[in-house]
Amino acid sequence: MRPLDGITVVSLEHAIAAPFCTRQLADLGARVIKVERPKVGDFARGYDERVEGISSHFSWTNRSKESLALDLKHREAPAILQKILDEADVLVQNLAPGAADRLGLSYETLSQRYPGIIVCDISGYGNDGPYRDKKAYDLLIQAESGFISITGTPDSPSKAGCSIADIAAGMYAYTSILAALLQRGKTGKGSHIDVSMLESMTEWMGYPLYYAFDGATPPPRAGASHATIFPYGPFTAGDGKTVILGLQNEREWEAFCRLVLEQPGLAADERFVTNSLRSKNRAALTQLIVETFAPLTVDQVIARLETAQIANARLNEMKDVWAHPQLQARDRWTSVDSPVGKIPALLPPGLSNAFEPRMDAIPALGQHSESILRGLGYAEEDIARLRAEGAV
């Protein structure tokens, strides 16, 4: 058994935040019915064609789901949705602000008919407040949350290279739904979850927010280096490859000077005797480190760092991650079916000895419409009529 076997999730979802949430519920065994627009579907299907013609975003966030193509404006859509919700435990939606309410899918409405239902609304700014109706995309929330202001170089702020605000909201939605299921097991009652991308990202901004507490200067943008700890960031070896290294305390600083830089006296240099001084004088210290690394390959640098027990990492590209020896050694890659055949997929983080995660196919648009409708009691002629009318 998987933890969520027997749980049915209905999701009116698009893009990343809600699909990432529900994919993880599916990983744990939940049946996820993904409601999509006929003909076009989740607009993330069209972001690119990088995975043998399938969008990279869609491939990542939609395995193990059933796709129901349904025109929510069709006259019979409410009846179809009601039949689906009769069997559902959870409804997840990240439609435009107010859209779910207009469809009669608010928690206030649904809980009257389904007192045990869990409704999770995912939005940019939450279900109320002056920003409620403001459009919100990942990049915009990165900006509103202050993330971009502390990311990048001193001359150029930068966004994260992945959809970090969407991921944050998806993770909080996922964990909040798990908590709501536990709560329902104790009380028998469902609940309403209101997840905002802004609040999710602001939670993740806790350290820089407190660092800038009460009007203090915020952490400076430091590129790939740590803003306030040094040396902690990228350094180039003589072969042109980059190693990331990080020191956390004075014991490591002494070992770094003695075993990596091979300049033990540097540990007592008055410019570098504390982290604050090393950070203040990072230009001078960087020059010393680069000069030491210049005749060495990245492998030789890493060997010295390992001897000194200094934390380090290679600056990998995507091709390196696909072939990462640690992921290979732990058998973390598998494959899933898709409309274009099998594609590789990373097993979900959190290796459990109690169950195997569900790793089923990525659905084609509307692939399960007929089977879902048959399961709801619709006859073949009714399904054919709905399809002819463009309802499904």
> pLDDT by residue (tens digit) across 95-108?
988 899 999 999 99
Q: How large is the average pLDDT for residues 201-208?
A: 95
Question: 53: which 2 tokens?
Answer: 């013609």
Q: Which two tokens stand for residue 103?
A: 């469809």
* Beta strands across the sheet bearing 311-314: 232-236, 242-246, 311-314
pLDDT at 202: 97
- End-to-end alpha-carbon separation of the chain, Å? 33
Q: Specify whether the CB–CB gap between 94 and 122 falls below 8 A.
A: yes
**Which token pair is 136?**
């919100």
Query: Mind listing the domains of the chain with CATH numbers?
Result: 8-205+328-388 (3.40.50.10540), 232-314 (3.30.1540.10)
What's the pLDDT at 247?
95
Per residue in 114-160, pLDDT (tens digit) is 999 999 999 999 999 999 999 999 999 999 999 999 999 999 999 99
d(CA 391, CA 265): 77
pLDDT at 228 over 90: no
Q: Residue 237 in contact with residue 301, Cβ under 8 Å?
A: yes
For the segment 200-215, the average pLDDT, to the nearest whole number, is: 95
198: helix, strand or coil? helix
| pLDDT confidence of residue 97 | 86
Looking at residue 54, its pLDDT comes to: 94
Answer whether residue 296 shows pLDDT above 90. Answer: yes
Is residue 311 within 8 Å of residue 231, measured between CB atoms?
A: no
pLDDT at 88 over 90: yes
Residue 227: the pLDDT is 87
DSSP state at residue 316 = -
Structure confidence at residue 149 (pLDDT): 95
3-state secondary structure of 65: strand
Q: Mean pLDDT throughout 78-91? A: 96
Q: What is the mean pLDDT of residues 58-87?
A: 96
Res. 39: pLDDT tops 90: yes
- Average pLDDT of the residues in 76-104: 94
Q: Is the pLDDT of residue 203 over 90?
A: yes
Residue 77 has pLDDT above 90, yes or no: yes
Percent of the chain exceeding pLDDT 70 equals: 100
pLDDT of 310 reads 97
Identify the active-site residue in 121, 166, 194, 337: 166
pLDDT the model gives residue 222: 86
Mean pLDDT of 14-27: 97
Cβ atoms of 8 and 89 closer than 8 Å? yes
Residue with tokens 């404006």: 73
Residue found under tokens 């290279």: 161
What mean pLDDT is predicted for residues 37-60?
94
Mean pLDDT of the chain: 95
- In the residue annotation, 166 being an active-site residue is answered as yes
Q: Is 202 exposed, middle or buried, given 0-12, 13-18 or 19+ CB atoms closer than 10 A? A: middle
Q: Which residue stretches of the chain are H helix?
A: 17-27, 56-61, 77-85, 99-102, 107-113, 138-144, 164-187, 197-204, 206-211, 250-255, 275-280, 282-293, 298-307, 318-322, 325-329, 369-375, 380-388
pLDDT per position as a tens digit, 314-361 = 999 999 999 999 999 999 999 999 999 999 999 999 989 999 999 999
Residue 53's pLDDT band (cuts 50, 70, 90): very high
